[in-house]
Chains A and B, each alone.
Chain A
């Protein structure tokens, strides 16, 4: 479904991404891991259009999306959540998710219909599936950090994505929150049939859930394979010496 080939991106002298490769098959749960500064977020930004690559290609179902802007890439079926809680902090939880549902249904430009009556059921459904329905009237800015991350995911779900990209979904979460969130992600993959790509640097989290793992170090991909094989790989073990 998604294929990243030999991607490069530099900022002045600094090579943030230096030869990244990634393959995501439909229906898979794929993880990208690597130490801090390995380039994971930059890679995601390159895939979803916030950044343009210097070299290399990003292919979605064999279509080249390397240079498209974010809103066009979203229309092609990719939705993402961000590493730093990136919600609409002045709006209610309900409206946060409703924005993306409206966008997906191409209703964002309706001028004279009250928004409160549109796509209510779909929005409620998404909120319920992530467990935020009882908090729907709260102002997003007042949520706890963990709940904001979950709201992130809910907003992304509003786009009815075929591929969901999550940037460090459990960053800053307590152990219980992490378990709940990972359970949620797995449930989404199974029940909704979503293809999910996420990055993490908590090893336990990843090895328990992902079907395929890509390891990054200093901007390039070391290996991508099933968890067990990755775990045995000597290069990976060396990369993580002193980091675990």
Chain B
């Protein structure tokens, strides 16, 4: 079957990439190992956002809040308490999921537009609190030199830790999307009214998806602390959330692995462009405009459609309304 073939090919490619990444530290310099680790963390973050956006059509415009909450919870516990590291690490996703639940409960009762706007505003409150509560969070400066457990403190060991966690999370997300829960979520994305008519409690289902997505976002936050050893309010800042959103769009928001591709591209671009100019935000905006006009389904989305069309199993009917 056609889709079977694609799936087998994709699996093979993913496996090959994973093996290459496992071997990478042996032939890359320390900077590039660190750079890849940053991409992994961002990729996980983008994948978690896409659970909401690409597969659920929820306008999660301030996903960065949950990333930041995860990072801050675990970072603060590591820096300021004597709790064991695995407790601090677990606190990250749990706190993020809790925040996701609270903000989600509030926003989900409203329609899509309100949801997005309100999330931006409520999330910004958390940013403002982190920014101003100097005693607790280090305010504007953040906190640096967070003690990371020895076995993952070095560049290479943190690289492997992040890669393994990313792999596990991606596998879990794949299972979730292929499950009845994921299938129903995608149906809600396409037609929430129809879903209600077949007996699905749409809002509750969406809320569950948000909690799952924010949980993974929190894990990404913990990984950030592992890689960087510090936390600062920028993690909670709105423009970062926009950047993640653009990653999903760029890679292909209706595909599974698209966000990871988008993350890799944007992080690379940002690092590269950063050496020439400080106006990265401007370039980000231009990228977004180009995406809107020329590549609304992202790179992988576009490729997938081209593949399908070449099989002429697909009419000119566009799946994007």
Tell whether, in the assembled complex, residue B194 and residue A109 are in contact, meaning their CB atoms are under 8 Å apart: no
| A125 in the interface (beta carbon within 8 A) | no
With A88-B187, A99-B187, A108-B184 in contact, is A115–B178 under 8 Å at CB? yes
Contact of B179 among A50, A71, A114 (CB under 8 A): A114
Most chain B beta carbons < 10 A, residue from A96, A103, A104, A108: A108
Q: Give chain B's interface secondary structure class.
A: helix
Contact of B181 among A109, A137, A141 (CB under 8 A): A109
Tell whether, in the assembled complex, residue A69 and residue B194 are in contact, meaning their CB atoms are under 8 Å apart: no
State which residues 181-239 of B face A: CB under 8 Å: 181-184, 186-187, 189-191, 193-202, 205, 208
With A112-B176, A137-B3 in contact, is A102–B184 under 8 Å at CB? yes
Residues of B contacting A104 in the complex (Cβ-Cβ under 8 angstroms): 198-199
With A112-B175, A139-B314, A141-B319 in contact, is A118–B194 under 8 Å at CB? no
Whole-angstrom distance from the CB of A119 to the nearest CB of chain B? 9
CA distance A158 to B187 in the complex (A): 14
Contact of B194 among A75, A87, A111 (CB under 8 A): A87
Tell whether, in the assembled complex, residue A118 and residue B180 are in contact, meaning their CB atoms are under 8 Å apart: yes
Q: Kindly report which residue of chain B lies nearest to residue A138, judged by CB atoms.
A: B313
Residues of A contacting B318 in the complex (Cβ-Cβ under 8 angstroms): 141
Most chain B beta carbons < 10 A, residue from A75, A89, A159: A89
| B89 in the interface (beta carbon within 8 A) | no
Contact of B199 among A74, A89, A118, A139 (CB under 8 A): A74
| B253 in the interface (beta carbon within 8 A) | no
| B40 in the interface (beta carbon within 8 A) | no
Tell whether, in the assembled complex, residue A86 and residue B199 are in contact, meaning their CB atoms are under 8 Å apart: no
Whole-angstrom distance from the CB of B280 to the nearest CB of chain A? 34
CA distance A198 to B5 in the complex (A): 43
Q: Kindly report which residue of chain B lies nearest to residue A142, judged by CB atoms.
A: B315
CA distance A199 to B189 in the complex (A): 29
With A50-B193, A137-B3, A139-B314 in contact, is A158–B198 under 8 Å at CB? yes
With A71-B202, A114-B178, A115-B178 in contact, is A139–B319 under 8 Å at CB? yes
| B317 in the interface (beta carbon within 8 A) | yes
- Contact bitstring A170-194, B, C-beta under 8 A = 1, else 0: 0000000000000000000000000
| B72 in the interface (beta carbon within 8 A) | no
With A48-B197, A104-B199 in contact, is A99–B183 under 8 Å at CB? yes
| B19 in the interface (beta carbon within 8 A) | no
| A8 in the interface (beta carbon within 8 A) | no
CA distance A80 to B189 in the complex (A): 20
Tell whether, in the assembled complex, residue B200 and residue A88 are in contact, meaning their CB atoms are under 8 Å apart: no
Tell whether, in the assembled complex, residue B180 and residue A89 are in contact, meaning their CB atoms are under 8 Å apart: no
Residues of B within 8 A of A (CB): 1, 3, 175-176, 178-184, 186-187, 189-191, 193-202, 205, 208, 254, 313-315, 317-319
Residues of A within 8 A of B (CB): 48, 50, 69-71, 74-75, 79-80, 82, 86-91, 95-96, 98-100, 102-104, 107-116, 118, 137-139, 141-142, 155-156, 158-159
Beyond A88-B187, A96-B187, A103-B200: 18 further Cβ-contacts under 8 Å? A50-B193, A69-B196, A70-B196, A71-B199, A74-B197, A87-B194, A88-B194, A90-B319, A100-B199, A108-B205, A110-B181, A114-B179, A115-B178, A115-B179, A115-B182, A139-B319, A142-B315, A159-B199
